[in-house]
Amino acid sequence: MKILYLDPALSGTTSGNSSTSTRLTEHWRNLGHAVTSLSVRGEFPEGEAQLRKLINESDLLVALHATHCHSILKIWHDLQKPVPLILIVGGTDLFAPVLESGEVSTEFSWACEESSRIVTLAAGLDAYYPAVRREDWRAKTRLVYQGAEPVKWNCQQYDPQQAVVIGHLRSVKDPLLPVRALEILREKWLLEQTTLKDVRLTIQHFGKMLDLNLKEQIEAAQVQLASGPLRWQWNGPVSETGIRQVMSSAPLLIMPSLHEGGANVVGEFLVSGLPIVASRVAGNLGILGEDWPALFDAGDPQALADLLLRWNQEPQFREQISRAAKNLADQHDLRREEQRWADLFGELGLASAGN
């Protein structure tokens, strides 16, 4: 089978989209299919005639992020939809318009309507479909958790003094929330040094500055929280290899996002048995579950500060998170993810490789 994949990842950057794209195309090739990846960011040097040819010569179209892929999907539609479409739901694609206006975008709605299958990367996202279309879209929605290769630790146990945030700096990821949480903890430490004398915590943020409106505040935090028992530092973008090296020291992952569609990095930490504290938003809950022991309300620095202090000071709390992470590790097994894609292709009558 020939798969044409519409890839929204920005070239030259490490991101959740780029990790997802690399992993999925590898799965599909492992299943024996020929895959052509087409970047949907920027201009198309191939021209519309070549795009039409690529679509007509394919057996399946897979699109990640309806809005970014919309112009090519319109060409596919103009060709009378010659091949099936699988739409993979991105978090920003679904939630950004919902948070702004209370409704999904026109592009997202159109793509869901026209697709043969809709894939979500976290459970429960179908609850955010429009009520009038929810039943029909839910019927063709399939959940495929993102898989990952476990990271081997270079230590024997978690380091309660180390935490990380992994993600590009943009407002939807709320990168300043951990800064505000540390400021709350620093004030508490100054008032209660006797009881909190052993508190030590460094939060490192890895990611590219995509929202320049955050630049001044980020630079100020770099200075204000550069020293002392409670520190924060921004380390800029890091490669996937670099991320895995960071993970090998068994830090705590902080997921402060205002919304998520099912972050790749969450699966990477879970499959490696690594701890997570996360905002109580749909994409996080759809992976971790409502009973995850370390959830906080999105945008609430005090709640995050309380969890960080517990993580730092309470071995029993760390053990509780550890057990929860290990219980979900199999959910993100790479072979299980690949099999789910094989099953999905089979549903569409496209199971045979090499067609």
C-alpha–C-alpha distance, residues 228 and 191, integer Å: 15
C-alpha–C-alpha distance, residues 236 and 169, integer Å: 9
pLDDT tens-digit map of 133-144: 999 999 999 999
Tell me whether residue 119 is in a domain.
yes
Same structural domain, 104 and 226: no
pLDDT at 42: 59
pTM score, two decimals?
0.92
Same structural domain, 239 and 124: no
Tell me whether residue 186 is in a domain.
yes
C-alpha–C-alpha distance, residues 197 and 337, integer Å: 45
Tell me whether residue 257 is in a domain.
yes
pLDDT at 14: 57
Of 227, 246, 96, 97, the closest CA to residue 166 belongs to: 246
CATH number of the domain to which 70 belongs:
3.40.50.2000
Strands (E), 207-331: 230-234, 252-255, 276-279, 295-296
The number of distinct structural domains making up the chain is 2
Tell me the two tokens of residue 95: 């939630």
pLDDT at 204: 97
Tell me the two tokens of residue 110: 């159109």
Average pLDDT, the chain: 92
pLDDT tens-digit map of 50-72: 899 999 999 999 999 999 999 99
Same structural domain, 246 and 276: yes
Same structural domain, 185 and 141: no
Residue corresponding to tokens 């998170």: 321
Same structural domain, 242 and 276: yes
**β-strand 201-206 against 162-166: which pairing, if any?**
parallel
Same structural domain, 139 and 217: no
Same structural domain, 132 and 271: no
Tell me the two tokens of residue 117: 């299958």
- Looking at residue 128, what DSSP letter applies? G
Tell me whether residue 121 is in a domain.
yes
Same structural domain, 177 and 286: yes
Tell me the two tokens of residue 342: 């094989």
Q: Give me the domain span that covers residue 65.
A: 2-146+334-347
List Cβ<8 Å contacts ≥24 apart for 208-212. Answer: 208/13, 208/168, 208/169, 208/236, 208/237, 209/168, 209/169, 209/236, 210/168, 210/169, 210/170, 211/169, 211/170, 211/171
Residues of the chain scoring pLDDT < 70: 10-16, 42-46, 351-355
Three-class secondary structure of residue 334 per DSSP: helix
Tell me whether residue 221 is in a domain.
yes
Three-class secondary structure of residue 205 per DSSP: strand
Same structural domain, 314 and 174: yes
Tell me whether residue 352 is in a domain.
no
pLDDT at 112: 97
Of 257, 329, 353, the closest CA to residue 300 belongs to: 257
Same structural domain, 212 and 291: yes
Same structural domain, 272 and 171: yes
Three-class secondary structure of residue 39 per DSSP: strand
Of 160, 205, 163, 203, the closest CA to residue 183 belongs to: 203
Same structural domain, 176 and 299: yes
pLDDT at 77: 96
**Residues 2 and 34 sit within 8 Å (Cβ to Cβ):** yes
Tell me whether residue 151 is in a domain.
no
Tell me whether residue 156 is in a domain.
no
